[in-house]
Amino acid sequence: MDVPQKRVAHLPWMRNPLDIDQFEQRPLHGVSCLDPRLQEALGKMQIESLFPVQLAVWLETVGPGGFERDICVNSPTGSGKTLAYALPIVQSLSTRKIRCLRALVVLPTRDLALQVKEVFEAIAPAVGLTVGSAVGQSSIADEISALIKRPRSERYSSLDPEYEAQIEPETSVDILVATPGRLMDHITMTKGFSLEHLRFLVVDETDRLLREAYQSWLPTVLQLTSSTNQDLFSCGSSTISMPHSLTTIRRTGVERGFKGRCYPRLMKIILSATLTQDPSKLSQLELHHPILLASGMKRYRLPEKLKSFKLICKSKLKPLCLVALLEELKGQKCIVFTSSVESTHRLSTLLSFFGDVPFKFSEYSRLQRQSVRSKTLKAFREGAIQVLIATDAMTRGMDVEGITNVINYDMPSYVKTYIHRAGRTARAGLSGSCFTLLRKHEVKRFDSMLQKAENNTCTLRTVPSQIINGLLPVYSIALEKLKEKVESEAARRKYGGGFKFTAKSSSRKEVTCT
Ligand SMILES: Nc1ncnc2c1ncn2[C@@H]1O[C@H](COP(=O)(O)OP(=O)(O)OP(=O)(O)O)[C@@H](O)[C@H]1O
């Protein structure tokens, strides 16, 4: 039997986390200090109670924790981390007097950012707050007009017109959900875009965001939200020149907010289902007395009601095993993960040559235009497509209702990838299954990889051989057609057409889909 072992974290504050498992789901009426307007908004979202991670964060922030410490959350996929930070932030900002950018939530991808924005939009208006996004979904000009406004002129009607002309535009949202690239565009180019008053910084999918520098967005944000200028450290001094201006002066550490009634320190919340423990990565965040909230004995945990299965099949039969499995799943919503964009494209092209399959499927990868991806995702959410063939661009954070199965067509290379892929199902306490197709030589590595996660039982699964045998004739025709398609796409690419396959994959003599 596998005895969970605790790997000792390098950072002392990570060694004894606050155990999320000790919290029970709590009905909204029993949540201390929760604003009734937010309770009503949550009710409209069909949310009647807070999940354990949400309650744990709530107690450390709004009541009675008082945002004393920066918060790091490591809890499984689908456990409700988005609302865990959205709710305390919205409640804390509900008493704000002047509209300016107070909360910044950074996510690694546009789809994820838009999903998180929806959660904020469901609760923030209830307390008069506005939410914006900087994700590159629209042109920068459209984004600027949604985010920035000139202060209303009547506020300055008594002012000299020349003076009025000097009035800076300002941010017209309280909460901004952003991807790093677009955030940096606004920081460097958008007049009036300011992080000066920021009170909350959320770094969701932290390990992913810290892995890539994304134009140094993090040091830039931290620099813009801290003031080391000692001369400015006196609120109400002559440095405040404009009638509407709020001059925010912060200090970090224990000095924050005491002397001279200065602005509170920037409160940080970082989250992931696979939070990094790497001190050098975490140090970039300049956390203040951080507290770790975590579920489980091991670093990684799979959702409670996830069932894992492995299917062992020969390389050449993998597409057939997949089709047979999908046929058996009878039109249930599935995501099929492959290891690369080429593999995703090849597999969906091959499936399209199978003719009559009893499920609708579509390709979803980073090589497609955003508009195509958004359309596909919408169709998948609405059930017009039941099977999404995707790359790991889909693994993190995406929350699509009704996904009951995840299929790893290609075995993930890391346990973190397995966790995030599998986590697209069995969300919010629901059941789900994760199937991994393995070649014989991969089994040992796969088993030892799964050992790194808690609740890692994996059952052997087979598909009926008669389904596979029945598919063999159509498979050989489909392979021929795939070969032709690969060649024609390679030729198109050579003569200036769009990208489809890498040179490496297109130059292979035998076109396969393994
Ligand atoms: N208190 C709640 N009651 C009912 N459903 C909830 C509650 N909180 C969140 N949910 C639902 O649970 C699902 C998962 O939430 P969320 O996307 O925040 O998970 P997550 O922990 O961020 O997952 P991941 O690590 O994959 O990003 C969502 O569909 C959300 O609407």
Atom of ligand 1 nearest to the CA of 46: 4
473 three-state secondary structure: helix
Token pair for residue 233? 């450290």
Q: How would DSSP label each residue in 369-421?
A: -HHHHHHHHHHHHHTS--EEEE-GGGTSS---TTEEEEEESS--SSHHHHHHH
Amino acid at 381: R
* pLDDT confidence of residue 162: 63
* pLDDT confidence of residue 152: 60
**Cα distance between residue 266 and residue 251, in whole Å:** 9
- Tens digits of residue pLDDT in 123-137: 999 999 999 999 988
Look up tokens 């050098």; give the residue: 280
Q: Cβ contacts of residue 347 below 8 Å, gap of 6+? A: 319, 322, 336, 338, 389, 409, 513
Write the ipTM. 0.99
CA atoms within a 13 Å half-sphere pointing along the CA-CB vector of 148: 20
- Tens digits of residue pLDDT in 479-506: 999 999 888 888 887 776 554 444 344 3
Q: Cβ contacts of residue 444 below 8 Å, gap of 6+? A: none
**What percent of the chain is helix, strand and coil (3-state, nearest 5)?**
40, 15, 45
- C-alpha of residue 427 to centroid of ligand 1, in Å: 7
Look up tokens 């993998």; give the residue: 318
- Tens digits of residue pLDDT in 135-184: 988 889 999 999 998 766 555 555 566 655 666 777 889 999 999 999 99
- Tens digits of residue pLDDT in 383-420: 999 999 999 877 788 899 999 999 999 999 999 999 99
Between 478 and 8, the more confident residue is 478
- C-alpha of residue 397 to centroid of ligand 1, in Å: 9
Atom of ligand 1 nearest to the CA of 397: 27
* pLDDT confidence of residue 317: 93
Atom of ligand 1 nearest to the CA of 79: 21
Nearest Cα residue to 147 out of 191, 111, 112: 191
Task: Tell me the whole-structure pTM to 2 decimals.
Answer: 0.87
Angle of CA points 455, 459, 460, to nearest 5° = 155
Strand order of the β-sheet with 291-294 is: 18-19, 291-294, 71-74, 267-272, 200-204, 103-106, 175-178, 131-134
| Best of 399, 416, 418 for a ligand 1 pocket test (most atoms within 8 Å of beta carbon) | 399
- C-alpha of residue 266 to centroid of ligand 1, in Å: 25
Token pair for residue 407? 């299929």
Ligand 1 site, residue 83, Cβ cutoff 6 A: yes
- C-alpha of residue 257 to centroid of ligand 1, in Å: 33
455 three-state secondary structure: coil
Specify whether the CB–CB gap between 451 and 328 falls below 8 A.
no
| Best of 34, 82, 305 for a ligand 1 pocket test (most atoms within 8 Å of beta carbon) | 82
| Best of 83, 392, 417, 420 for a ligand 1 pocket test (most atoms within 8 Å of beta carbon) | 83
Ligand 1 site, residue 428, Cβ cutoff 6 A: yes
